[in-house]
Amino acid sequence: MDDVPVLDLSGSVTRISARLRRGLETTGFVILEGHSIEPAWIERAYTAIEHFFELSEAEKLGVAAGSDGQRGFTPFGIEHARDCAAPDLKEFFHVGRDRYAANRWPAAVPELRERVFSGRGRTPGVDRASTPSEPAASAGSPGGDVLLHLPPRELLIYGLIQNRGMIVIAAGLGFAWELGFIEKIAAGAIGNSAWFQGLFRDAVGAAGVMAAMAALTVLSAAIVGLLVFARLLSMAWAFVRLHDFTVSRAGEDLRTTFGLLTRVSATIPLRRIQKLTIHESPLHRLAGRAAVRVDTAGGSKHDESKEAHRQWLAPLIPKERLDAFVDDVLPELSFGSVHWERVAPGAFRRVAKRSLIMATLVSIPFFVLLQFGGLLVFALLATWAIVYARKYVDSLGWAVTNGAVLFRSGWLWRRISIARFAKIQIVSVRETPFDRRRDMARVRVDTAGAGQASHAVHIPYLPAPRARELSAALVEQAAQTNFRW
């Protein structure tokens, strides 16, 4: 059931149609939410249907579907899939609007009509006046359809993951050190400022091993307390800075609002989004969360200097809501049904060889200092190099959908970048001497919003023929779209 898309009927027609399409293209099913139908009504429907199918075959055939439309009962072995000679192994009861065909109601189960389908003319939760260009406004968001709202609990998790408090503490410690406060505090607490400068040597020489161990215990507790304080400070910062963080969609614009003291409102035109990147750190995965950032291109059509901007669209989002959120932002993508392709099989050997060379170079000083002890260091580094190479290569993947090209990388800090065809500016194939030796190449896809620090769509370790084929396909797709800032 985790792979079945959730269709929230309280949203706009634009969101409903995008998720319905994804459901029909993948599993063939959708889970309905936001329908405003009372649970008791749903239970009555199940009970009435069960009573109908418990009837004898003759009673069910009394309301068999006729030639006036698909209404009534259809037994096993009647319907066939298109171009398939084998019959369907199903029986079903079909009802619909009376304006198209007359429904056939079984007299033996009167509750089927009287208690279940008496209100079938209405569709709870869906505003039929909404159109794809004018989404229905959600409750609590007069400016558009709410795509994401972060309650206080999510903000505290975000602060815990980001740990921005350490930046403030580091700046404070640096300032205190420059003024000499750190040494004075240490001298007052320990009674010997020289001990602070040479912790192990002076403490062991003056007071013995027990005093040194006690001092180390106090120091360790202080460090742990400092780290905990940093996390708490970061959580407080996140709560104040991102209070009531909301992403909504109004027409062709995304709007973000947040802030407890200083209220910030920003508008991101959908057509300005050049690239969307999904971030996952180890702490994100531990919390079952992810983050979404977008790269946009600024300027007007008369401005020759286009400036790239990067901003968080979703600083934190539960993983189970990620697919639907990306589809809301990029409806043409169908992110949950993306088929990822792997890099060339020889990629692992190349990455492993490079990692082992680095491990050897790092181990040389340990051989000089520790002699045979350096072998243990090299063994540890070599093992790490092999594990890293395997994990890194396994994390690499790329995909092409109807409207975008995707690239993923990283096994500790994972990134997935999505570049839309309409925003592609340059597609290039690059082959280093090492690539040519292994008949490999890499494909670079650049957009207007590709900053130096962003996770670019640069796909490495592709078989050379496949790289040229992918490049040609992307160029053709980009040429078929109209580029707009």
pLDDT digits (tens, 9 = 90+) for 199-244: 445 544 545 566 667 777 887 888 888 788 888 889 999 999 999 9
Q: 227-238: per-residue pLDDT in tens?
A: 888 888 899 999
Close Cβ partners of 396 (under 8 Å, ≥ 6 residues apart): 342, 343, 347, 408, 409, 459, 460, 461
Query: At residue 75, does pLDDT exceed 50?
Result: yes
Reading phi first (left if > 0) and then psi (alpha if -120 to 50, else beta), residue 317 is in beta
The pLDDT of 366-384, averaged and rounded, is: 88
Confidence of residue 331 (pLDDT cuts 50, 70, 90): confident
* Model pLDDT, residue 123: 45
* Model pLDDT, residue 182: 62
Query: At residue 85, does pLDDT exceed 90?
Result: no
Domains of the chain, by residue range, sit at: 6-142, 160-241, 250-343+396-479, 348-394
What Å distances lie between residue 439 and 227, 261, 314, 399, CA to CA?
Answer: 49, 57, 40, 21
Tell me how crowded residue 474 is: count the other CB atoms within 10 A of its CB. Answer: 19
* Model pLDDT, residue 360: 93
In terms of Cα–Cα distance, which of 36, 222, 57 is closest to 139? 36
What Å distances lie between residue 56 and 52, 53, 89, 93, 263, CA to CA?
Answer: 9, 8, 18, 14, 66
Confidence of residue 198 (pLDDT cuts 50, 70, 90): low
Higher pLDDT, 465 or 29: 465
Confidence of residue 370 (pLDDT cuts 50, 70, 90): confident
Distance CA 42, CA 119 (A): 12
Tell me how crowded residue 267 is: count the other CB atoms within 10 A of its CB. Answer: 11
b/e 164-191 (16+ beta carbons within 10 angstroms → b): bbbeebeeeeeeeeeeeeeeeebeeebe
In terms of Cα–Cα distance, which of 267, 263, 265 is closest to 250? 267
Strands 72-74 and 92-94: antiparallel
Distance CA 374, CA 18 (A): 58
Percentage with pLDDT > 70 across the chain: 78
Q: How many CA atoms lie within 13 A of 426 on its CB side?
A: 10
